[in-house]
Chains A and B, each alone.
Chain A
Amino acid sequence: MGKIVIDPVTRIEGHLKIEAIVEGGVVKEARSTGNLFRGFELILRGRDPRDAQVITQRICGVCPQSHGVAATLCLDSAFGVADKIPDNGRIMRNLIQGAHIAQDHILHFYHLAALDYVDVTDVAKYEGNDSDLNSIKDFIGRGELGPFFPRYEGDYRLPPEVNQQAVAHYVKALEIRRMGHEMVSIFSGKIPHSVGIVPGGVTSTPTVDNILAFLWKLRRLQDFINNVYIPDVLAVAGFYGDYAEIGTGCQNLLSYGSFDLVGSDPDYARRKRLFKQGTVSADLKFNELDLGKITEDVGHSWYRDSSSGRHPADGETSPEPGKEKAYSWTKSPRYNGKVYEVGPLARVAVTYAGGDPTMKGLVESSLAQLKAPASALFSVLGRHLARALSAKFIADSLEKWVLELKPGEPTFVEYEIPEEGRGVGITDAARGALGHWIEIKDKKIANYQCVVPTTWNVSPKDDKGNPGPIEQALIGTKVKDENNPFELVRIVRSFDPCLACSIHVVTPKGRDLAQYRIA
């Protein structure tokens, strides 16, 4: 019996440690440990509610925009304007969040995940005229391989010319994702940590020139997604086909949905969205979302035990470093008492199961190309494929939405901060279901709660002893070489963990989630 410790897990956001107990070459037990705690919710208490939108973006610099959206939806509902945002405002929020998520998916595949599959050293054999590849060849020739070495060795399967092309795409993807951020900036000022999305709508105004600038950057983004990103995912899948059966996980998926298609329904759990709100399990049957079913356990987290297993905002929770049995700063959110995975796979599968015809077409044609059954979605490759399809589904929708903007019409509606009130904001961030809850007293934040995607995915065991989604995806995995545990890091990275997001929770006092639901 051996123990594999990976600390730090790199090419993810934040500080994560993975431990696996291996017996006869198979993972028997796995632990994921979030290694940094900041305490955002404590920081938020007592502040002007509007500042939540600025401060919560700083939970994560990789996906700030989705925190901005969740916080803003949360404030809209607390301020009583959830159903009054002008169409321009609603659409510009979608454009800002959509461009951000599409570039984030590209960043994940090329710059965080690809080095698990692509052998950069094959560029040393490159004989062509591509100046990027030749400069990388020179770089390799200098002998200092900077961030690209050391690495795990022994399982790079792509032929040299495919590796070379993938490295060229790694460089190209750096440009494209930078341009994706420019699209965000057009309507939201700057990114990371953008400023355009505020309660009541957005601060900027649509003009013909910024609509066209966005549209033509978008066309380059779509071209890359259609002709480079999706083909590259399928190509990697062709050489690493066994990963369609590795990293299956809990097979329960949860999506909050994202991208409001109408603004007039105040209930975010029910309003019409591009990605649907709901859950699916192994049978891929659609179930409606019920926010009241969320609970958070802390039995294996470094927080006081006193109120584990209740609604996330209902427990007295304060840090207790060194608590016995605990091994993570991350809590364990559960839905209906069960372990649920969130992320692109979840929102793609929920939207597919919910009967969206475009998503049905995308999923079915990709599976046909891979000659894989729908069950293959629950895997390392399934998560990468779903992320690419999520990028395409979003980008194609942005093209339609940007042309719906009406210059000269309002983007913002005025509101008053109530003396007292509550609000909830839910959306699907790049990495999955993201919820913010607020309670206002004396026009100040009395309590603020975030339950974020990676908290679901990277969660430790719950009080019943059920391991979290990533832990479950690791358990049962065959590890060919314990010194080069490719399988483990490929599984973990397929979830695109974001630790800064997952560990920020301090809830000295809270409320039942159901009380925050808006009717």
Chain B
Amino acid sequence: MSKEIPLVWLAGSACTGCSISLLNSASPTIKNILIDEIVPGVHINLRFHQTIMAGAGAQVVKVLEDTAREKKGNYVLAVDGAIPTANGAAYGAMGERDGKPVSLEDRFVELARDALAVLAIGTCAAFGGIPAAAPNPTNCQPLSKVLESKGISKPLVNIPGCPPHPDWIVGTIGSILLNGLPTAADLDDNLRPLAFYGKLIHENCPRRAYFDEGKFAQKPGDEGCLYELGCKGPITYADCPIRRWNGGTNWVIGAGAPCNGCTQPEFPDLVAPLYQKLVDIELPTIGAYWAAGKEAK
């Protein structure tokens, strides 16, 4: 008998890009994730996802509420998007209760309270991201802040990126299924899995040699390091250079564009202007891990 891992996916103040990125998972495919035993003997049961599910309206809200009750303490809650909290959380609602809209904040808090663990999918859920950018018109908060303000203590894993690479999402879920919830040693200070976010873009960048030799591109299409065109690779933790995107087809710097730092808590305000050279940054060198006495991951 295959073991069920119930999964509920709630969209907050989001653009659905994280879900579309997950659809791009190459191996396993999204069909494998939704239909097959993702690891032997275990399958994910995606009970709620607004963009995919067949039903609509009250019948699917019931699924959401039933799952929280019937699978209390056993379901994984994935959230893409930040949580709008301004004006009594009036800027986002999903489904009704007693004829009144239920705010996204209330939905999230109710679901998080009884979840086994919470996955913050994408930079908005993890750090606030674009909707929380200045002046943060709807006072969007990352999941961690909302949990903290409500006094809810839950295992939380941040899987940032705008959007995250599908491997980061699938790999994190797969790791939970195979090895259980991540421990503190598996995550960095920003609760990101070190397996995917352990090194700087700059450390693995194929244009790194140009940087070391001081050869910088002056406009798009040029050879050379993109540092002067605003590349945020030197301060951005992610494995894009070696993993590459869309089934390994290409990646940002491969297309001649500077990294904009989208996996970082600083995205977008503190890495903007996005096409301007970083200033006042102490750049790490290759091997910074050893220098800091840390083990290389």
Contact = CB atoms under 8 A, between A and B. Distances in A.
Interface of A: 5-15, 17, 35-39, 42-43, 46-48, 50-51, 54-55, 58-62, 64, 107, 111-112, 115, 120, 132, 135-136, 139, 142, 144, 146-152, 171, 174-175, 177-178, 181-182, 184-196, 198, 200-205, 319, 321-322, 329, 410-412, 414, 489, 500, 506
A181 B246 contact: yes
Contacts of B35: 135-136, 139
A480 to B, nearest CB: 16
Nearest to B21: A192
Given A43-B130, A62-B20, 10 more contacts: A10-B53, A36-B93, A54-B260, A59-B15, A60-B17, A144-B4, A144-B45, A185-B245, A192-B20, A202-B220
Given A42-B137, A196-B257, A203-B255, A10 B46 contact: no
Contact of B17 (A64, A149, A171): A64
A150 B63 contact: yes
A150 B55 contact: yes
A189 B56 contact: no
Contacts of A47: 272-273
A388 to B, nearest CB: 20
Interface string B211-249: 000000001110000000000000000000000011101
B198 interface: no
B59 interface: yes
Q: Indicate the member of B46, B133, B249 with the most A CB atoms within 10 Å.
A: B249
Given A139-B36, A500-B14, A9 B246 contact: no
Nearest to B52: A147
A149 B54 contact: yes
Q: Indicate the member of B36, B56, B57, B104 with the most A CB atoms within 10 Å.
A: B56
B153 interface: no
B26 interface: yes
A126 to B, nearest CB: 14
A189 B23 contact: no
B257 A203 contact: yes
B43 A150 contact: no
A61 B163 contact: yes
Contacts of A186: 249-250
Q: Indicate the member of B36, B91, B138, B220 with the most A CB atoms within 10 Å.
A: B220
A193 B245 CA distance: 12
Contacts of A322: 90
Given A54-B260, A146-B45, A193-B162, A60 B16 contact: yes
B113 to A, nearest CB: 21
A6 B59 CA distance: 9
Interface of B: 2, 4, 11, 13-21, 23-24, 26, 29-31, 34-36, 43, 45-63, 84, 87, 90-96, 101, 104, 129-131, 133-135, 137-138, 140, 162-163, 219-221, 245-247, 249-257, 260, 262, 268, 272-276
Contacts of B162: 58, 193
A414 B220 CA distance: 9
B273 A198 contact: no
Given A189-B252, A205-B256, A412-B221, A35 B94 contact: yes
List 5 tightest A-B contacts by C-beta distance, closest first. Answer: A61-B17, A39-B137, A189-B255, A48-B273, A190-B245
A38 B138 contact: yes
B4 A35 contact: no
A204 B134 contact: no
10 contacts: A12-B51, A38-B137, A38-B138, A50-B275, A62-B20, A150-B62, A193-B163, A411-B220, A412-B219, A489-B56
Given A187-B255, A411-B221, A38 B52 contact: no
A43 B130 CA distance: 8
Contact of A174 (B23, B46, B62, B138): B23
Contacts of B18: 61
Contacts of A178: 23-24, 26, 29-30, 246-247
Contacts of B56: 6, 8-11, 152, 489
A285 to B, nearest CB: 37
B273 A51 contact: yes
B57 A190 contact: no
B247 to A, nearest CB: 6
B51 A11 contact: yes
Contacts of A321: 87, 90-91
Given A8-B95, A139-B36, A174-B30, A189 B15 contact: no
A61 B19 contact: yes
Contact of A43 (B34, B43, B135): B135
A147 B255 contact: no
B252 to A, nearest CB: 5
B54 A150 contact: yes
A146 B34 CA distance: 8
A6 B57 contact: yes
A188 B138 CA distance: 31
A112 B252 CA distance: 29
A61 B20 contact: yes
A178 B34 CA distance: 16
Nearest to A96: B255
B54 A147 contact: yes
Q: Indicate the member of B29, B48, B94, B96 with the most A CB atoms within 10 Å.
A: B94
A111 to B, nearest CB: 7
Contact of A13 (B16, B23, B24, B163): B16
B24 A181 contact: yes
A148 B55 CA distance: 7
